[in-house]
Structure 1
């Protein structure tokens, strides 16, 4: 059955809702330990839930509250996108499922392209949140890559190596995430496209006793949250940013990572 462009465009609203809700899974409780940020994320999630359940009036009220009460936050930016998508028309379940699958696939492709083109993480010295020269250069490359792909949102995840107590590890991982966020903003990436998460020592890349091995856990990762479907999207259309991604192998990332660990 041929699906009209109107159906595809209209279906974008539920895809946007589902994509935003997926991104929120890692958002709540990770907003810089900021009660306002947490409350904004909770309101946003309630509003998206309402839209997903076809309770449009309730969803609109909740999303407008996020925008009015928490301006300038990532949650407010997402609420605006959801409301804009809502204006595009009624929902088509068949098209919704197709677009939802496409969004998940494109998000995965963008993450892979980001890893190969510029690298997705930087490393830190023991008990430090200071960025070395190589790390600063890589972050600036990340900002340039993201700035030409304005439909992407990111989360910076800070991690620690598990030395010391859990609170100290969380505090240090938060400082590392903040350092990367601040450098991205200084390089021109809008603040409302960035969320941060302090993983502490709970999300370790390597579980080991060797000091060099543990150094892999002293990092901050830039994770692409989702690919946002714009109102002008059409089936089979060229997706910006992917065609221009350079080919490469994971060995480039591992080589760069090894250099940065020593900073």
Structure 2
């Protein structure tokens, strides 16, 4: 009983000594978290009104949020009575060790900074990088997220993107659609070009400027290949690509112009 009483008294003393500090630390953490949340919300509203680039906006907000959270944690720990100087030394040593272990992450952070400075792409752009192609969904501190045409999420490290090749299909106001359509050697080339020209000019998504072109690209084994080159806005690329192929086939058929198929297929059809 005496031992239990001693432990009870010791617990009371600890509660008297550290209880207020613990309660204060909890209050500081709760209040600080609330302040950080409100501050980030206010910054977001100010940036939106100032028409900040969305990519830069998200990057800066994440950076400020993480910085304030680290400061809050240090403040809470110091309130608990931990020597901040000693704690800082421990953090510095741990930071060095973690930094060496996470060199890739640091390069990704540096890559994110470079992306924000030079802006090779922004949110909403359609890009190709590191073997992935898609629309930029977000640019974060360490990674860039793309939504692919198949509606998949591609997450690419910023370091790899910053040090690799980037193709930004949305950077210019227009894109060229490269198509090759073959016609038979016995067909009238001029007539075929006129039919294809009608297909392209009747498509409202094909731009008048730059001017489209239809030229003989190659004399193949079984066809005269025509290079069909319409121009369109980046967001209309696939619509123009697929509609041109389909409508060209229909128009050439209606005009009685043959689109040859491989001889192996032709022989097989005759055998059947």
Question: TM-score surpassing 0.5?
Answer: no
Point out the structure with the larger strand share: 2
Q: Which has the larger radius of gyration?
A: 2
Which structure's relative contact order is higher, taking Cα pairs within 8 Å and 6+ residues apart?
1
